[in-house]
């Protein structure tokens, strides 16, 4: 059986804890590898080595660090297919979707090439008599990232890119479900010129996460995953004096107004609800048609589209709309929630419970489900299902639909489909959710904006990527200076690069 270890001080190393987790091929249900789960001692040793490597990197001029990112971009593009293949085989998502996962991470690395600009401080000339005042952004030292299974390339890249280009060393604890791509990215960063020790990829579970939270050297922790774990990591990390940002779960609502282009809205909902088997924190899982007539038209437009969805293994290439979910446990949980929906009185309009794929009977495939007449008190409405299940809640008015999105405990993303500018503008202003789509179902901001939800979808002050990431991974220092005036040395005539 293939064993997957860690990336420490510039090389792959085997785990020493003796503990492992299974890595599945979700399409077949087979265990394809075992990933080592680090002990606290392994994690602490990786942090100590990172701390030793960081001062020289922090002192390297930012333009040189940015050049490493520039080369990293080239290498990721070179290996795009290889990365996507490894990603699909462990996660299960389709090959084009796996490339999208790498691509959305790559865009943040492209943004990091501008780090020298983002790291500039501020300056006040003559803040007092002979006094200048300036601020600088310095790396926090050693930062850490704990990432989820559903974007095994994108989210590690969102974390490691800004942290490293800001001059930090970085400890990545990726998901134990799909650990191969983060290790491949570490190899590429080394090839791009990153000195050894600055990026340590430590595979593991709760033991290594707790070791990160309790390690005194680590100054900042970025987490992405489910809300209960986000909340736990936020409180333990903060209690230990760290800077912490945690991004959690979601239940994203999409309002469909009576004036919406119904064909466009239905296409958008099917892509956003069932793409990646619903395993996206920005997936739309609740449709809110306004008015009975709109709801009837929506269901009529959705059903044939959903019934046509092609579910299969990534090896089928472009012929598949979505693949299996990540584990048998995830599948069982989705099907359990579907049962509660039926028991609690929702109408199951498209029933995927008996979905079977010939030749892949042991794979973790879940057929598409569509519920109508869902109400606020049902488990399928309250819970993040993280599967191919779309719930329709019929609303009488726009205010009622807006209230649904506002009252839900999660506030990651939301969308409205309408032709009316006033309604769209009102929605964008009033809704208490972090990322809003207007006739756009999955409004994931681009790399130079920032990504983050509200309410129980995020804990901490700053968002991911964009300028916020550089604020999160640096500390501000402000200097007030006064010098005796006087003429300095003679002249220099050569024009020299900043080495």
| 412 counts as binding ligand NAD under rule CB under 6 A | yes
Told to check if 231 binds ligand NAD by CB under 6 A, we report: no
The residues with which 478 forms a beta bridge, in sequence order, are 135
168 interacts with ligand NAD by CB under 6 A = no
Residue 206 is a binding residue for ligand NAD (CB under 6 A) = yes
Q: Which is nearer to ligand NAD, 103 or 226 (CB)?
A: 226
d(CA 56, CA 104): 30
Residues binding ligand NAD: what is the number (CB under 6 A)? Answer: 26
Is residue 150 a contact residue for ligand NAD (CB under 6 A)? Answer: yes
Active site residue 281: yes
Applying CB under 6 A, which of residues 27, 146, 163, 431 lies at the interface with ligand NAD? 146
Interface of this chain with ligand NAD, residues 256 to 315, rule: CB under 6 A: 281
Nearer to ligand NAD, 138 or 231 (CB): 231
Rounded to the nearest 10 degrees, the angle between the axes of helix 62-78 and helix 80-91 is: 70
Could you say whether residue 149 binds ligand NAD (CB under 6 A)?
Answer: yes
Considering only residues 175 through 194, tell me which ones interact with ligand NAD, judged by CB under 6 A: 175-176
Q: Residue 19 CB: number of other CB atoms within 10 A?
A: 15
59: Cβ–Cβ under 8 A, 6 or more apart, which residues?
A: 167
> What is the rounded CA–CA span in Å between residue 414 and residue 435?
6
From the list 169, 166, 170, 193, the residue with the least C-alpha distance to 182 is: 170
The distance of closest approach from Cβ of residue 228 to ligand NAD in the complex, given in angstroms and rounded to an integer, is: 7
43 binds ligand NAD (CB under 6 A): no
Identify the CA nearest to 97 among candidates 307, 316, 286: 316
Segment near ligand NAD (CB under 6 A); pick from 169-177, 259-267, 307-315, 440-448: 169-177
CA distances (Å), origin 76, targets 102, 103, 199, 387: 8, 9, 16, 29
Shortest distance in whole angstroms from residue 248 CB to ligand NAD: 6
Residue 367: what are its φ and ψ, rounded to 5°? Answer: -70, 160
Around 184, how many Cα atoms within 13 Å sit in the side-chain half-sphere? 21
Q: Which is nearer to ligand NAD, 64 or 206 (CB)?
A: 206
For residue 323, what are its two tokens? Answer: 């693949």
- The DSSP result for 478-494, as a single string, is EEEEE------------
Are the C-beta atoms of residues 137 and 472 closer than 8 Å to each other? no
Q: Which of 112, 246, 281, 395 is catalytic?
A: 281
Q: Which is nearer to ligand NAD, 270 or 435 (CB)?
A: 435
- Residue 41 makes CB contacts below 8 A (sequence gap 6+) with none
249 lies in the site for ligand NAD, by CB under 6 A: yes
Residue ranges in 449-468 that form contacts with ligand NAD under rule CB under 6 A: 453, 457
Q: Which of 192, 250, 272, 424 forms a contact with ligand NAD (CB under 6 A)?
A: 250
Q: Which of 89, 94, 147, 392 binds ligand NAD (CB under 6 A)?
A: 147
Ramachandran sector of residue 241 (left: φ over 0; alpha: ψ -120 to 50; beta: rest)? left
With respect to ligand NAD, which residue has the nearer C-beta, 147 or 180? 147
Give the strand pairing for 6-8 and 11-13: antiparallel
**Edge-to-edge strands, sheet with 474-482:** 123-128, 131-139, 474-482
Phi then psi dihedrals of residue 302, to 5 deg: -75, -45
For residues 79 and 384, which CB has a smaller minimum distance to ligand NAD in the complex?
384
DSSP 265-311: HHHHHHHHHHGGGG--TT-EEEEEEBSHHHHHHHHHHHHHHHHT--B
Site string for ligand NAD, 365-394 (x = CB under 6 A): -------------------x-x--------
Q: With respect to ligand NAD, which residue has the nearer C-beta, 57 or 322? A: 322
With contacts defined by CB under 6 A, name the span among 61-69, 76-84, 99-107, 140-148 that binds ligand NAD. Answer: 140-148
Please identify which residue in 148, 167, 289, 460 interacts with ligand NAD, judged by CB under 6 A.
148
Is position 333 an interface residue for ligand NAD (rule: CB under 6 A)? no
**In the set 17, 103, 217, 226, which binds ligand NAD (CB under 6 A)?**
226
Which of these ranges, 171-179, 311-319, 372-380, 420-428, lies near ligand NAD under the rule CB under 6 A? 171-179
Where in the sequence numbering do the catalytic residues fall?
Answer: 281
Q: Which residues bind to ligand NAD, rule: CB under 6 A?
A: 146-151, 173, 175-176, 205-206, 209, 224-226, 229, 247-250, 281, 384, 386, 412, 453, 457
């Amino acid at each position: 059986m293939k064993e997957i270890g860690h990336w420490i001080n510039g090389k792959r190393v085997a785990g020493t804890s003796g503990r492992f987790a299974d890595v599945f091929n979700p399409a077949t249900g087979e265990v394809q590898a075992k990933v080592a789960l680090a002990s606290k001692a392994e994690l602490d040793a990786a942090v100590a080595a990172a701390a030793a490597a960081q001062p020289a990197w922090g002192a390297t001029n930012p333009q040189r660090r940015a050049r490493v990112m520039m080369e990293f971009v080239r290498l990721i593009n070179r290996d795009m297919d290889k990365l996507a293949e490894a990603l699909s085989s462990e996660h299960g998502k389709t090959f084009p979707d796996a490339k999208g996962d790498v691509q959305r991470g790559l865009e943040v690395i492209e943004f990091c090439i501008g780090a020298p600009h983002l790291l500039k401080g501020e300056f006040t000339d003559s803040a007092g008599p002979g006094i200048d005042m300036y601020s600088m952004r310095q790396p926090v030292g050693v930062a850490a990232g704990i990432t989820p299974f559903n974007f095994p390339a994108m989210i590690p890249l969102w974390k490691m890119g800004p942290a490293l280009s800001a001059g930090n060393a970085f400890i990545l604890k990726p998901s134990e479900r799909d650990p191969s791509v983060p290790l491949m990215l570490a190899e590429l960063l080394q090839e791009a010129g990153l000195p050894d020790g600055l990026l340590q990829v430590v595979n593991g579970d709760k033991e290594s996460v707790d070791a990160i939270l309790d390690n005194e050297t680590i100054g900042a922790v970025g987490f992405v995953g489910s809300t209960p774990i986000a909340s736990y990591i936020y409180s333990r990390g903060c209690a230990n004096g760290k800077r912490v940002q945690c991004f959690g779960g979601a239940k994203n609502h999409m309002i469909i107004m009576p004036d919406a282009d119904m064909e466009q809205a239905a296409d958008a909902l099917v892509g956003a609800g069932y793409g990646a088997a619903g395993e996206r924190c920005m997936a739309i899982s609740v449709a809110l048609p306004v008015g009975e007539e709109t709801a009837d038209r929506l269901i009529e437009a959705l059903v044939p589209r959903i019934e046509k969805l092609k579910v299969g293994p990534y090896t089928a290439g472009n012929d598949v709309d979505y693949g299996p979910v990540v584990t048998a446990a995830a599948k069982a949980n989705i099907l359990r929630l579907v049962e509660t929906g039926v028991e609690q009185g929702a109408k199951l309009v498209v029933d995927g419970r008996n979905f079977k794929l010939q030749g892949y009977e042991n794979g973790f495939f879940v057929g598409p489900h569509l519920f109508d007449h869902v109400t606020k008190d049902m488990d399928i409405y309250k819970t993040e299902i993280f599967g191919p299940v779309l719930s329709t809640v019929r609303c009488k008015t726009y205010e009622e639909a807006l209230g649904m999105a506002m009252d839900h405990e999660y506030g990651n993303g939301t969308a409205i489909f309408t032709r009316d500018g006033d309604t769209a503008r009102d929605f964008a202003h009033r809704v208490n959710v972090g990322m809003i789509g207007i006739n756009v179902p999955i409004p994931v901001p681009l790399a130079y904006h920032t990504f983050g939800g509200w309410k129980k979808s995020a804990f901490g002050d700053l968002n991911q990527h964009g300028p916020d990431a550089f604020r999160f991974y640096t500390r501000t220092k402000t200097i007030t200076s006064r010098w005796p005036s006087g003429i300095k040395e003679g002249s220099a005539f050569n024009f020299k690069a900043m080495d």
